[in-house]
Amino acid sequence: MIDEQKYLKTWKHEGTILFADFGAKVSDKVAGFDMDSTLITTKSGLMLAKDSSDWVWWDENVPKKLSEIHENGFKIVIFSNKAGVEMGRIDPIDLQQKFTQIYESLKVPFQIICATSKDANHKPSIGMWKYFVSNCNDGIEPDKSQSFYCGDSAGRPKRKDKNKDFSYCDRQFAMNLGVQFYTPEMYFQELEEILPPLEFDTNTLKSLEGQSPTEEEEKYTSEAQEVVVFVGAPGSGKSTFWKNYLKDYVRVNNEILKTKQKCIEAARKILKEGKSCVIDNTNPKIEARSDYISIAEEFKVPCRAFYFNTDKNICMHNNEQRSINPNRNHLSKKTPRLIINVFFKNCVVPTQSEGFTEVKVINFIPGPFESDDDKETYYTY
Pick out residues in 304-333 that bind Mg ion (CB under 5 A).
Answer: none
Site string (100-139) toward Mg ion, x via CB under 5 A: ----------------------------------------
Structural contact between residues 225 and 301, judged by C-beta atoms closer than 8 angstroms:
yes
Query: Cα(322)–Cα(75) distance, rounded to whole angstroms?
Result: 34
Q: Which is closer to Mg ion, CB of 184 or CB of 213? A: 184
Q: Which is closer to Mg ion, CB of 2 or CB of 191? A: 191
Binding segment for Mg ion (CB under 5 A), chosen from 12-20, 35-43, 92-100, 224-232, is 35-43
CA 235 to chain centre: 12
- Tell me how many helices (H) and strands (E) the chain has: 14, 14
Q: Which is closer to Mg ion, CB of 166 or CB of 344? A: 166
* Residue of 292, 275, 293 lying closest to 221 (CA atoms): 275
Q: Which is closer to Mg ion, CB of 79 or CB of 132? A: 79
Binding segment for Mg ion (CB under 5 A), chosen from 3-11, 40-48, 149-157, 334-342, is 149-157
| Nearest-approach distance from CB 37 to Mg ion, in angstroms | 4
Query: Cα(178)–Cα(283) distance, rounded to whole angstroms?
Result: 39
Q: Which is closer to Mg ion, CB of 181 or CB of 242? A: 181
Binding segment for Mg ion (CB under 5 A), chosen from 3-11, 26-34, 88-96, 177-185, is 26-34
For residue 166, give the DSSP letter: S
Q: Among 20, 22, 34, 177, which residue sits at the site for Mg ion (rule: CB under 5 A)? A: 34
| Nearest-approach distance from CB 128 to Mg ion, in angstroms | 14
Structural contact between residues 312 and 200, judged by C-beta atoms closer than 8 angstroms:
no
Amino acid at 170: D
Q: Among 27, 31, 36, 183, which residue sits at the site for Mg ion (rule: CB under 5 A)? A: 36
CB-based contacts of 84-90 (< 8 A; 24+ apart in sequence): 85/18, 85/114, 85/116, 85/117, 86/16, 86/116, 86/117, 86/118, 89/48
For residue 377, give the DSSP letter: H
Strand partners, 355: none
Binders of Mg ion: how many residues, by CB under 5 A? 4
Query: Cα(360)–Cα(350) distance, rounded to whole angstroms?
Result: 9
152 binds Mg ion, rule: CB under 5 A: yes
Amino acid at 249: Y
59 binds Mg ion, rule: CB under 5 A: no
81 binds Mg ion, rule: CB under 5 A: no
226 binds Mg ion, rule: CB under 5 A: no
| Nearest-approach distance from CB 371 to Mg ion, in angstroms | 32
37 binds Mg ion, rule: CB under 5 A: yes
**Interface residue list for Mg ion (CB under 5 A):** 34, 36-37, 152
